Structure 1
Amino acid sequence: MAETGASALPPTPAHSPLFRAEHFVWLTARVLEQRLFAYHFLNGAADPVETALDAYRNEDGGYGHALEPDLRGPVSQPLHTGHALAVLDAIGRCGGQRVERVCRYLTSVSTADGALPSVGPGRRGYPTAPSVPVVADPPSDLLATGPVVGLLHRNEVWHAWLFRATDFCWQAVESLEKSHPREIAAAVAFLDAVPDRPRAQALADRLGRLVRAQRLAALDAGRSADRPVAPDQPFASGPAPGEPHFPHDFARTPRSLARAWFTEDEMARSLDFLAAQQQEDGGWPTRHPRWAPGTALETRPMATIEALRTLRAHGRHVG
């Protein structure tokens, strides 16, 4: 166990979801996801996760090197950097000089209104998923900005970049009318952590009504008629365009403001569906479009860890 950074734990039942997922992770995952799995489920330490994450860090304070598998190449990108912040948040290391450097990078790539684009310019021909919008002058994007601002607020980070970025998120969320599931999920990531709780609660209530009115959540996994088809949308982590979103995709934990949008039965069906998605090899499927063999292999362990964490957060036994 010393080599995994994990401490000895009681044996996992041989046919439990966790046991099967562990085999899948050791077989297929990048070092970062192996270390994350050990941290979350095998009593592993945070230091090895941080060390593995350092391989993706650049001198400008951002992250690159295909940390998000659909963006290849070494250059720093907002989505890579948001992914890195999510890892640091998961292991309780989202603070200090490291995050100060990240915020300087975020400042350097922000748009005129202080927000982040999903993908910055300067891809220089590096391989990129067809669904990734690469444009010369990328616009501000709630999908990229909302989760990052939420993570920084949740960790009580203070940096000048947050002021205008937070204002952008408030305005973007308040102006949502006709939306798509990924945009709603990004709004939830912001609202779950922003300090002004009454304002966040009021906006979350409105978004919940919007989600139900526009049928943005598949409320019964067994009925295809309930599965919404999302409009074409820019790239972000999560299910691909056209794939249904379920209640657990919006409310990753019971503490999320989005949990109130769904009944007990609706959430139970959603979690049943998520649990049943575990494949024969022990991993969960990815809902990203498969455009290259390597990216699918890299993405599935990430989806597997996220599925296990979601199930466990909602009180489901995983092993």
Structure 2
Amino acid sequence: MKVLNDADLARAEECLLRDGRLIDRHRFALHFRGGRAEPVLAALRPYENPDGGYGHALEPDLRGEGSQPVPAQHALEILHQAGASDDPAVARIGDHLASITYEDGGVPFVLPSVRETPHGPWWRASGEERGTINPTASLAGLLHRAGSDHPWLGPATAFCWRHLEDEGAEPGPYDALAILMFLDHVPDRDRAEAAFARVRDALAAPATLDPSAEGAVHSPLDFAPAPGGLGRRLFTAEVIDAHLDALIDARGEHGGWDVNFPVWTPVTRHDWRGFLTVERLRTLKAYGRLKP
């Protein structure tokens, strides 16, 4: 079983200092150096907009300043990591989501305003006024995890249940990740377990089981970044262990991890490298792959 030692962690820290955004440097310090939550929260504030949403490249491939749904997802995750699920920003996110929700109860993948700012070519607004399971399910799951009682959650949760009960197309990888976030945290646990049992094969299908696969693939660890979630139940222990070994081997010479999807403008490589380095280390820590 491969593990990372203190020297490996120091190299990752150098990678953050060289390439990482301030917010990811503070997240690294919080998780691996006994750092305080306050600097993380302070670094998050400039990404927030007056409407309660988030922009300003908090999602590295959305370079505009305007609020978009997925950056709100990033913000909720960072607030949780900082132990700040009771922060007033959580309610403000709910207010923002309510302002962009369609009649079906869901939010779009990306708002049409994306066309007016630099963005990765895969961020395309559909032009249809209907919600999408990604990121509605992620946002609903994260707000449920935060203990929110925001009115947005009622229609959004109903939207997610309807999607899960539909016998339509199988989910793509990002849809599956969103569904897992929702099922992990929605309060109705009996209904969540029943839905998981019904769709578990479809949720596992987008994962690439070969640890040596290259290109824009999704590892089982993307679906099971920690042992406790429903995603862990999609894969055997042998598969998880093989991918943990492969994750350790995938570090770059810079000491961190890069994305495996296209980089469309140079700065995003560094933004993603810092973000992913913290996330990959969090996964290794969760599975006991950091040497004490």
TM-score if structure 1 supplies the norm length?
Answer: 0.85
Q: Distance in 1 between matches of 2:203 and 2:95?
A: 35
> Where is the helix percentage greater, Structure 1 or Structure 2?
2
**Aligned in 2, Cα 1:318/1:282: closer, same or farther, shift over 3 Å?**
farther
How far apart are 1:48 and its partner, in Å? 0.7
1:219 aligns with 2:209: yes
Q: In the alignment, what sits opposite 2:289?
A: 316
**Aligned in 2, Cα 1:138/1:304: closer, same or farther, shift over 3 Å?**
farther
Q: In the alignment, what sits opposite 2:189?
A: 197
Q: Distance in 2 between matches of 1:60 and 1:148?
A: 17
Q: In the alignment, what sits opposite 2:98?
A: 107
Give per-residue Cα distances to partners, 1:106-157, cap 9 Å, x unaligned.
1001112121111112235210111111344453111111111111111211
1:160 aligns with 2:133: no
- Number of residue-to-residue matches in the alignment: 288
The one-letter code of the counterpart of 1:25 is L
The one-letter code of the counterpart of 2:162 is Q
Q: Which fold has the larger relative contact order, with Cα–Cα distance below 8 Å and residues 6 or more apart in sequence?
A: 2
Q: In the alignment, what sits opposite 1:7?
A: none
Q: Distance in 2 between matches of 1:296 and 1:318?
A: 28
Q: In the alignment, what sits opposite 2:267?
A: 294
Q: Distance in 2 between matches of 1:302 and 1:318?
A: 22
Q: Distance in 2 between matches of 1:192 and 1:184?
A: 12
How far apart are 1:271 and its partner, in Å? 1.2
How far apart are 1:62 and its partner, in Å? 0.8
Residues 204 and 258 in structure 1, CA contact (< 8 A), matched pair in contact too: no
Aligned ranges for residues 130-145 of structure 1 at < 5 Å? 130-137=121-128, 139-145=130-136
How far apart are 1:169 and its partner, in Å? 1.0
Q: In the alignment, what sits opposite 2:42?
A: 51
More displaced stretch, 277-286 vs 196-205 = 196-205
**Aligned in 2, Cα 1:183/1:13: closer, same or farther, shift over 3 Å?**
closer
Query: Gaps (5+ residues) in structure 2?
Result: none
The one-letter code of the counterpart of 2:49 is N
User: For 1:312, what is the secondary structure of its paired residue?
Assistant: helix
Residues 114 and 123 in structure 2, CA contact (< 8 A), matched pair in contact too: no
User: For 1:253, what is the secondary structure of its paired residue?
Assistant: coil
How far apart are 1:257 and its partner, in Å? 0.9
The one-letter code of the counterpart of 2:209 is L
More displaced stretch, 289-298 vs 120-129 = 120-129
Q: Distance in 2 between matches of 1:116 and 1:64?
A: 16
The one-letter code of the counterpart of 2:220 is P
How far apart are 1:219 and its partner, in Å? 1.8
The one-letter code of the counterpart of 2:149 is W
Q: In the alignment, what sits opposite 1:27?
A: 18
Residues 104 and 130 in structure 2, CA contact (< 8 A), matched pair in contact too: no
**Aligned in 2, Cα 1:66/1:276: closer, same or farther, shift over 3 Å?**
same
How far apart are 1:14 and its partner, in Å? 5.3
The one-letter code of the counterpart of 1:22 is E
**Aligned in 2, Cα 1:134/1:318: closer, same or farther, shift over 3 Å?**
farther
User: For 1:55, what is the secondary structure of its paired residue?
Assistant: helix
Q: In the alignment, what sits opposite 2:83?
A: 92
Residues 121 and 138 in structure 1, CA contact (< 8 A), matched pair in contact too: no
* Identity among equivalent pairs (%): 40
TM-score if structure 2 supplies the norm length?
Answer: 0.93
Aligned ranges for residues 139-288 of structure 1 at < 5 Å? 139-175=130-166, 177-211=169-203, 215-222=205-212, 224=213, 243-288=216-261
How far apart are 1:211 and its partner, in Å? 4.2
